[in-house]
Amino acid sequence: MRAILVRVGVDQTYGGWNAPVDPKTGEFLFVPIPDGAQKVYPPGHARSYSEMNHPLADFALAHRAPDLHFPEALRNRKMHLDPDFENLTYGDNGSVRGAGIATLTTGDFLVFYAGLRSIESPCPLFYGLIGLFAIQEVVRATDVPLDHIHENAHTRWTPISAKDVIVRGRPGTSGRFDRCIQIGEWRNRAYRVRRDVEEAWGGLNVKNGFIQRSVVPPEFLNAARFNSWFQQQNITLIQRNN
């Protein structure tokens, strides 16, 4: 059994904004990164940030955060909906960043985390786990049947890259978390996994728990131990994006 920790979601590097989280309840919004302006879509396949208008308004109302607004710089851009928790898919470049992901097999895990922004003042970043896929299969993006290409950002493009891979999560044991699990802290001039959390997981293959964006996603040293820890968190898995 293997497990890889993957950073996803809009942030200051990709999008110039962080999605909100209520640190008291763990409730959060999943907002994907923007898609590249050069990407070409067949008619009807692009996904827009306009889809976030109602979820963000509902979140702001429910959490009494009237100053929470979607940034104008993103409002008219296309979003890179990946992972897609509704369809339980995740895509990546299987030759570069996703080289390790491309070698995963049935029964392994992808664990997703994001750098979120607390709705409380002051507003520090909140690094938390937001979802998990128990892997059903990993396939080349070019092998995805035509009637399933709408299910992931990497297969909605045209042309589909021969380097890309698509991970499909197993229904029932994969999905978005009903609340995020805080795992990060600011330590040694960077955001890192808290020492107590990393110890409970059995370690990561990165130095000192570093979880700011990296070229290669970190891998758990003991996937079975991570899975045992996760089973104790009382998380409900939801098959929708927000």
Domain residue ranges in the chain: 3-238
Task: Please list, in sequence order, all residues whose beta carbon lies within 8 angstroms of the beta carbon of residue 204, skipping any fewer than 6 positions away.
Answer: 5, 193, 198, 218, 219, 220, 221
Specify the pLDDT at position 76. 87
Report d(CA 21, CA 127) in Å as an integer: 10
Specify the pLDDT at position 106. 97
Give the C-alpha distances (Å, rounded to integers) separating 36 from 44, 110, 154, 201, 209.
17, 24, 12, 35, 30
Specify the pLDDT at position 207. 87
CA-CA-CA-CA torsion sign (217, 218, 219, 223): negative
Report d(CA 191, CA 109) in Å as an integer: 23
DSSP string, 21-77: E-TTT--B---PEEPPTT----TT---BGGGGHHHHHHHHHHTT-TT----HHHHTS
Specify the pLDDT at position 181. 98
pTM: 0.96
CB atoms within 10 A of CB 75: 13
Under DSSP, the state recorded for 160 is P
Two tokens at 224? 């079975």
Specify the pLDDT at position 163. 96
Specify the pLDDT at position 145. 96
Each residue's pLDDT expressed in tens, for the chain with a length of 242 residues: 999 999 999 999 999 999 999 999 999 999 999 998 888 988 889 999 999 999 999 999 999 998 898 899 998 899 999 999 999 999 999 988 889 999 999 999 999 999 999 998 777 799 999 999 999 999 999 999 999 999 999 999 999 999 999 999 999 999 999 999 999 999 988 899 999 999 999 999 998 998 887 778 999 999 999 999 999 999 999 999 99
